[in-house]
Structure 1
Amino acid sequence: MTLLIKHDAKPCSALLAEYEASGKLAAEPLKLQFGGVGTRDVYNIAAPFEDEGELVLAGRVEQRDSEHSQIIFFVERDGVWMPREGAPVLTLQDPFHTRIGGELVFGGVQIYPHPERPDALAWRTVFYKGSGIRSLELLFSGPNGMKDLRLIELADKSIGVFTRPQGVKGGRGKIGYVRIGSLSELTVQAIEDAPLLDAQFIDSEWGGANELHLLAGGLVGVLGHIACFDERGDRHYYPMAFAFDPESARFTDIELIASRSRFLPGAAKRPDLADVVFSGGLLRKPDGMAELYAGISDAEAHRLTIEDPFAKYER
């Protein structure tokens, strides 16, 4: 399929106005319930996936006043997600997963002391690989300072790599892309050299890829987020989606697929994070609907039923 693109970078405000006027479905909002974690919050979840015959959900678990988190694997028991017995606990943030070569590739964000600012933290994306959760071993550590690094096995078994540099290249955060032949070609240099996708974000805003879906016909459905500050310095994060053609590197314009107001009311880590929805994952359904799993306000994990944003690219 050939993708038509306008290369029209719209600010969050314009995308939100389009979304609110679209009448897109947002139904059955649900706050997920967790147990076995004491007083800690669970948020920025990934979509559930099957492991050893049962559905497992990975979530970021931390105290309300801290950024030091763990990724815990949960299984549902009578409507409550409980830590899975015997599963590893990873000292990471913001879990994600995919499958490459028949194996589970799982990742998250690793934080560490900033090399130049003693009062700050730095971060990088790390990947693990294994036949399942219990056999995960460290695979690769991405460039220092880069979150939202994602992989997908393409139709020809090559690997698409979506990046998100910040700084001189990328500003506050823009999406890049490079294609590699195998995981053995995944290097820091290849990631840092990945060209940026043009005209997705205005310079004062930022975004990244959260989860990648291989669509019928070979396109990649990108579930991501776009974010901005308002005049008070509060953050606003919105779930978004677009389709990407790995053959031509063309892509569709970003569209919002939800907003904070479509989920249930809830707590926030800080007042400036009240309007944050961090796309965790999408479970696509045969009926054209999808379940969006998301972190809410850096304090809770919710689910929302929406129209599958990628179905139109498979017709």
Structure 2
Amino acid sequence: MKRLIKNAVKTCSVLVEEYEQKEQAFRPEKLVFKGVGEKDVYNITAPFEDEGELVIAGRVEPRDSEHSQVYFFVNRNDEWVPREAAPVLQLQDPFFTKIRGNLILGGVEIFRHPTLENALGWRTVFYRGTNIANLKEFFKGPDGMKDLRLVELQDGSIGIFTRPQGEKGGRGKIGFTRISTLEELTIDVVNGTPLLEGQFIDEEWGGANELHILSNGLVGVLGHIACFDEEGNRHYYPMTFVLNPETGEYSDIQLIAMRRNFLEGEAKRSDLEDVVFSGGLVRQEDGTADLYAGISDAEAQKITIQDPFIQFEK
């Protein structure tokens, strides 16, 4: 496998400077969602095939609330509308993968915090089934952990990407381990997963959003890195890196787009204007890739970039 060279930790500001020197993302497009009233649709997945039809899962919620649902949308005359008879899940920030031929669908479940008054807790919840219609819940991650992801590796084992916060992960750092089967997935395994060192300074945070198995068995990670500015505004940037599951080596983080590359639009709050939340990446044969993303916690867009993983397949 290709040897991956990891340099010193890079902050958001350094990554932005590096991105400014690269070929920029292009062809931004707003995705039009209908059929959910006045609610916003954002933090979408990339389109995936289910029963012969392309489907997008999206976070749907009122502008003034964090209580969201995940709908499954299909394209009708260039508009995405809820799929008839599809389940509606009480989740945020959906994601999907395929493991051993099954669809794995997940998202973030919020709940009343057990000890803090008027506060919410959260955890990642996973469903599986042969298709969307028969999804059944099969695992809840640790309380307080978002961005927990699974991927079937080239040898048939399962990679786990975690993102603890608090004593172990600070504001949020990425960990990686592997298991043989989904039956080995437990809270203890997730909590015991070692962190990838040197990715984030303590003042910043990040997580994995979607995982791609490259032609040589490396794992291409689509994720995000984020920080606060001095005024308390959040800045979320879509990023990628590559990990070798055999050796544990991983490459430097690189940004693949910024908010200004997308079309102007509304924001859920003023402190969320510079938020791009990676949803999914569809790699194309011409060396480009379409990035699907949530924008400013209020809408969904897609944009075309140079495929960030090709360099690791050569």
Same fold (TM over 0.5): yes
> Which residue of structure 2 aligns with residue 18 of structure 1?
18
- 1:87 to partner: Cα distance: 0.3
Q: Deviations over 1:45-100 (max 9, x none)?
A: 01010000010000000000000000000001111100000100000000000000
Q: Secondary structure, in 3 states, of the residue corresponding to 2:34?
A: coil
Structure 2: how far apart are the matches of 1:220 and 1:198? 17
Aligned 8 A contact 1:46 1:59 in 2: yes
Query: Is the aligned partner of 1:310 residue 2:309?
Result: yes
Aligned to 1:74: 73
Q: Tell me by how many angstroms 1:7 deviates.
A: 3.8
Partners of 2:18 and 2:86 in 1: how far apart? 43
Report Cα offsets for 1:205-255 as digits up to 9, x if no partner. Answer: 000000000001100000000000000000000000000000000000000
Whether contact under 8 Å (1:7, 1:200) holds in the other structure is no
TM-score (norm 2): 0.99
Preserved CA contact (<8 Å) 2:2 2:312: no
| Percent of matched pairs sharing the same residue | 65
What is the CA–CA distance in structure 1 between the aligned matches of 2:132 and 2:70, rounded to whole Å?
Answer: 12
In 1, Cα distance between equivalents of 2:185 and 2:103: 16
Structure 2 unaligned residues grouped into runs of 5+: none
2:188 maps to 189
Per the alignment, residue 150 of structure 2 pairs with 151
The residue aligned with 1:49 is 48
C-alpha displacement at 1:200, in angstroms? 0.1
Corresponding residue of 2:282: 283
Aligned to 1:8: 8
CA distance in 2, matches of 1:312, 1:235: 30
Note if 1:208 corresponds to 2:207.
yes
Instruction: Give, as a single letter, the amino acid of the residue that structure 2 aligns with 1:16.
Output: V
**Alpha-carbon deviation of 1:2?**
3.1
Indicate the RMSD between aligned Cα atoms, in angstroms.
Answer: 0.7
Unpaired runs of 5+ residues, structure 1, are: none
User: In the alignment, what sits opposite 1:163?
Assistant: 162
Aligned pair count reads: 314
Deviation at 1:194, TM superposition (A): 0.3
Q: Secondary structure at the match of 1:18?
A: helix
User: Is residue 266 from structure 1 mapped to residue 270 from structure 2 by the alignment?
Assistant: no
The within-5 A match list for 1:216-231 is 216-231=215-230
Whether contact under 8 Å (1:112, 1:122) holds in the other structure is: yes
> In the alignment, is the contact (CA less than 8 A) between 1:31 and 1:301 conserved in 2?
yes
Contact 2:218 2:242 in 1 (8 A): yes
Instruction: Check conservation: 1:7, 1:198, Cα contact below 8 A.
Output: no
Q: Which amino acid aligns with 1:13?
A: S
Instruction: Name the SS for the 1:10 alignment partner.
Output: coil
C-alpha separation in 2, matches of 1:97 and 1:3? 28
| TM superposition shift of 1:313 | 1.0
**One-letter amino acid of the structure 2 residue matched with residue 147 of structure 1:** K
Q: How far, CA to CA, are the matches of 2:45 and 2:24 in structure 1?
A: 21
Of the structure 1 ranges 260-269 and 113-122, higher mean CA displacement relative to structure 2 is found in 113-122
- When normalised by structure 1's length, the TM-score is 0.99
Cα shift at 1:109: 0.2
**Alpha-carbon deviation of 1:274?**
0.2
The residue type paired with residue 4 of structure 2 is L
Does the 8 A contact of 1:149 with 1:164 survive in 2?
A: yes
Cα distance in structure 2, aligned partners of 1:114 and 1:9: 33
Deviates more, 1:175-184 or 1:3-12: 3-12
Could you list the structure 1 runs, at least 4 aligned residues long, displaced by more than 6 angstroms after superposition: none
